[in-house]
Structure 1
Amino acid sequence: MRRDVTKMINSSMYKKFLKRILDFSISLVSLILFSPLIIILIILLLFANKGKPFYFQKRPGKNSKIFTIIKFKTMKDPKNNESELINQEQRITKVGAIIRKTSLDELLQLINVLKGDMSLIGPRPLLIEYLPLYNKEQARRHLVKPGITGWAQVNGRTALSWKERFAHDVWYVDHLSFKTDVIILLKTIQKIFNPEAMSSIEQASFALWEGNNE
């Protein structure tokens, strides 16, 4: 009983204080260490995307609060007035394909973590258009800050159905702890250096979620 109480207190302290301290410290150090690589990628994408190396989009964060996510721009702009979601695979540049394959397009989200919009680990921030489509249980994924990587990403990522992804997100909300975050971080590093995992990422599905009646 005493051990359970101590575990609960430690978990609460981690959620309220330590997680943010670690997020800020690790993201700051990482941005400094990766700054030469970031500069190189910016230069490459300046040429590949005609002067547009960055991609900005509004996403829902904790408690569905809207923030602007920043990523490296890996796709060309659409040439017509149709939805930009059409033929995304064909719009990926050669440089963009490499960046996606290595998940380097997520690197700039360390800025979002530094600002406090995101955490290193948490449910991935999805489209604003999905907000009215969640049922009550699925909406619980927004009780915590979204993350660069998360429980769903290390347990199947795009191979999972939408229902499975949301179930993993809610599981993380209920089991958020230092131990859980360390496990997710280690699994993420393992996947980055796993050729098969990176291949599946390269072939990521662009299918949109149409709600629980799909």
Structure 2
Amino acid sequence: MYKSTFKRLIDLIAALLAFVILLPIILIVAFISLIVNKSNPFFSQERPGKNEVVFKMYKFKSMTDKKDENGKLLPDEVRLTKLGNILRKTSLDELPQLINVIRGDMSLVGPRPLRTHYLPYYTPREAIRHTVRPGITGLAQVSGRNAVGWDEKLELDVQYVENLSFKNDVILIYKTILKVIRPSDVILDDNMLTLVEHRTKKN
């Protein structure tokens, strides 16, 4: 009953309340980001949701849109701004995803939505992660965030789905808050192999 009905209802109510309470912070971050990036402070990217239905996930932009002489975007580490680094470490860049939760694209807790081009690389067991709505935070994120390897991270996603319950969601939200207050083991995505590279190298 929780998985089929109450989880979505709780998500909607909690996300609406959080959005209203955090709106001043969201507006301040958006204004500062607008000045720093001199462009749209928001970043959107297609991600697979429940049943692999693709949606646009929103975040605060942490990198500039600077390009080289050929019009190609510069490497991530060059485009990452000081503000963007702070937003990532404090998880403030994730705040716009409250809109995704309100819309029903995401849940507060669930497997993190990864890039769409990773879809062909999941094993049948790992694909179980797409039987529920993806989350702003999840079991893999509170178990080491980006420091956790791909195989372990995807297994944790499956374990979350298999043991989904209200109690576990509350515990994960609590642990997430602690992670935000006391950031640790945070490694930027460009410092680890992508899933495609990992699977290619492994095979």
Tell me, yes or no, whether TM beats 0.5: yes
Cα RMSD over matched residues? Answer: 1.5
Deviations 1:185-205 (A, max 9, x none): 11111111114x1xx32x323
Task: Tell me by how many angstroms 1:17 deviates.
Answer: 1.0
Q: Which whole-Å CA distance do the structure 1 matches of 2:28 and 2:72 have between them?
A: 31
Secondary structure of the residue that 2:189 maps to in structure 1?
coil
Task: Choose which of 125, 129, 137 in structure 1 pairs with 2:117.
Answer: 129
Which residue number in structure 1 is paired with residue 167 of structure 2?
Answer: 179
Q: Which whole-Å CA distance do the structure 1 matches of 2:116 and 2:82 have between them?
A: 28
Q: Which whole-Å CA distance do the structure 1 matches of 2:71 and 2:91 have between them?
A: 28
Which residue number in structure 1 is paired with residue 176 of structure 2?
Answer: 188
1:212 aligns with 2:196: no
Secondary structure of the residue that 2:139 maps to in structure 1?
coil
Q: Which whole-Å CA distance do the structure 2 matches of 1:61 and 1:21 have between them?
A: 18
Task: Tell me by how many angstroms 1:83 deviates.
Answer: 6.3
Secondary structure of the residue that 2:156 maps to in structure 1?
helix
Which residue number in structure 1 is paired with residue 64 of structure 2?
Answer: 76
Runs (5+) with no aligned partner, structure 2: none
Which residue number in structure 2 is paired with residue 156 of structure 1?
Answer: 144
Q: Which whole-Å CA distance do the structure 2 matches of 1:28 and 1:22 have between them?
A: 10
Aligned length: 197
1:50 aligns with 2:38: yes
Q: Give runs of ≥4 in structure 1 deviating > 2 Å.
A: 80-84, 211-214
Q: Any conservation in 2 of the 1:134–1:212 contact (CA below 8 Å)? A: no
Task: Tell me by how many angstroms 1:101 deviates.
Answer: 1.5
Q: Which whole-Å CA distance do the structure 1 matches of 2:142 and 2:153 have between them?
A: 11
Deviations 1:23-80 (A, max 9, x none): 0001000110011111111110111111210001000000100000011011011413
Q: Scaled by the length of structure 1, what TM-score is found?
A: 0.87
1:100 aligns with 2:88: yes
Runs (5+) with no aligned partner, structure 1: 1-12
Q: Scaled by the length of structure 2, what TM-score is found?
A: 0.92
Task: Choose which of 83, 96, 106 in structure 2 pairs with 1:118.
Answer: 106
Task: Tell me by how many angstroms 1:165 deviates.
Answer: 0.4
Secondary structure of the residue that 1:34 maps to in structure 2?
helix
